[in-house]
Structure 1
Amino acid sequence: MPSPTSALDVRVTTTPEETGRAAAAAVAEALRSTLARKGSARVVFAAAPSQLPLLTALRGRDDIDWTRVTAFHMDEYIGLAPDAPQRFGPWLRRALFDHVPLADALLIDPGPQPGKAARGYARLLDEGPLDLVCLGIGVNGHLAFNDPPVADLDDPLDVKVVELDGACRRQQVDDDCFEALEQVPTHAVTLTVPRLLRAERLVGTVLGRRKSAAVRDAVCAPVGAACPATALRTHPRCTLHVDTGAAALLPEEVVHGG
């Protein structure tokens, strides 16, 4: 992992809805610029309750030509039934993909051979450059399902099978995605940190006081696997949109208005 080349551009707004709208404006600007230059765009979306204000705001915008946008997503649980409401691909369909006229939505399906599925998804991603990643940060500082302290910031793989750590699985219960910890899958398919960072533009949305320590560490801690989100500081074009809860522990000098 290279040394940090830029500080994160941290934008703070008051409520989750305001944060979602600010992030959506940044996403729309990035997409319009990409479409004007290239004619099409390839975008990775995160799936989590914290992303819903962003996705809802995107549904309400009329300045994005979705017909030229191909959508991917970051990660998917292994072992859930295809119709399980917690699966991230179907969740993103309900939250955004079914509401806008995308050129295509390419979803991760781990199936019975998740390692093979990971390699296949990596090939889909490799068919062209990624123009934009819409991301979040986990309570434990993870990016996608790259959990500390084992996340490999120099991972040679683009997509792989991972085991989820306890804090990551507990977050899924605390976010009301599962009723009990034993219901949360122990493994998932995820895009790796280097694959996410190869995108031209990153726009993050992080909400809530429970994420404040992870946001502080992402901005201030040494870059490393103890907080995978610190790797965002090595990207030259990453903006992090946070509400006042998520920003609660940030030094004033790193914060900008939304």
Structure 2
Amino acid sequence: MNVRVFASEQEAVAACAALVAAAVREKPSLVLGLPTGRTPLNVYRELVVLHRNGQLDFSKVTTFNLDEFLGLGPDDPSSFRAYMERHLFQHVNLAPVRIHFLDGSAERAERECARYDVQLAAAGGLDLVLLGIGPNGHVAFVEPGESLQAGSHRVRLSRESRQAVASLFGDDVWKVPLAALTLGMSALLQARRVILLAFGVSKAAAVTAMVRGPITTLCPASFLQLHGNVEVWVDAEAGRGMDGSR
């Protein structure tokens, strides 16, 4: 893993947006994996600015989001799809047909996950995926446990994960769904390039475990050690356990 410690979150955010823009210019038909939550929010704001300034054309880009709450349809204001519409999709020229999302309201979760994996395979897999990391070491909604699933799957959310997204539900963790649909580790490990962002002291232990610790299902992000092209971009607080790594 290539770890880079930035002086500030904003510096890392600007660098990430510039990297995405450069990747799209190099390959206009880029297949891009996108996260939700607080970590990528400012990245999306920077991407919107680049698009409005004529520096980023999304017209041929294909996107696959990482996860969605079980039981929430795309029109639910608390869904991750609604989040993406608010913060990115409505503000750039992504073609609707090129936007891919797990449907949390699907009647059969297993069938929906299989459909999503088929769509991603048909698109050729992810060229570039942006990731965050949970305080418990999860990526996407792949939670710690005795084992990890390779393909997209239904997952029971940990309390830590539900607390992290409570802001989408009026800061009431009890309103956060108990389960979600998520890409599995296979799609993430097969992505051609991975950029993982982490900001704040609450992510420091997870970042250290991911980079310095053993590969273990108790820290799903640690499996990214097996990937040949991963960049971990953190601010000083999240990178406090990196011992000066760049």
User: TM-score, normalised to structure 1's length?
Assistant: 0.86
**Which residue identity lines up with residue 220 of structure 2 in the other structure?**
P
Pair 1:80-2:72 in alignment = yes
Pair 1:115-2:104 in alignment = no
2: CA distance between counterparts of 1:101 and 1:141?
33
Q: Which residue of 2 aligns with 1:127?
A: 122
Q: Which secondary structure does the structure 2 equivalent of 1:54 belong to?
A: helix
User: TM-score, normalised to structure 2's length?
Assistant: 0.90
Larger RCO: Structure 1 or Structure 2 (Cα < 8 Å, ≥ 6 residues apart)?
1
Shift of 1:81: 5.3
Q: Which residue of 1 aligns with 2:93?
A: 101
2: CA distance between counterparts of 1:184 and 1:32?
38
Q: Which residue of 2 aligns with 1:57?
A: 46
Contact residue 23 and residue 30 of structure 2 kept, 8 A:
no
Number of residue-to-residue matches in the alignment: 238
Shifted more, 26-35 versus 221-230: the winner is 26-35
Structure 2: gaps (5+ residues): none
145, 153, 171: which is aligned to 2:141? 145
Shift of 1:100: 1.2
Pair 1:26-2:19 in alignment = yes
Q: Which residue of 1 aligns with 2:214?
A: 222
1: CA distance between counterparts of 2:164 and 2:100?
26
Contact residue 73 and residue 104 of structure 2 kept, 8 A:
no
Pair 1:199-2:191 in alignment = yes
Shift of 1:169: 1.7
**Which residue identity lines up with residue 110 of structure 1 in the other structure?**
G
Q: Identity rate of aligned residues, in percent?
A: 33
Q: Which residue of 1 aligns with 2:205?
A: 213
Q: Which secondary structure does the structure 2 equivalent of 1:177 belong to?
A: helix
Q: How much is the aligned-residue C-alpha RMSD, in angstroms? A: 1.7
Pair 1:177-2:168 in alignment = yes
Structure 1: gaps (5+ residues): 1-7
Q: Which secondary structure does the structure 1 equivalent of 2:78 belong to?
A: coil
16, 32, 44: which is aligned to 2:9? 16
Instruction: After the TM superposition, list the runs of 4 or more consecutive aligned residues in structure 1 that deviate by more than 6 angstroms.
Output: none
Q: Which secondary structure does the structure 2 equivalent of 1:126 belong to?
A: helix
1: CA distance between counterparts of 2:75 and 2:123?
30
Cα deviation, 1:117-148, whole Å, max 9, x if unaligned, reads 11111111111222111111111110111111
2: CA distance between counterparts of 1:151 and 1:63?
43
Q: Which residue of 1 aligns with 2:36?
A: 47
Q: Which secondary structure does the structure 2 equivalent of 1:247 belong to?
A: coil
Cα deviation, 1:70-117, whole Å, max 9, x if unaligned, reads 111000001235433321111112111111111321222122322221
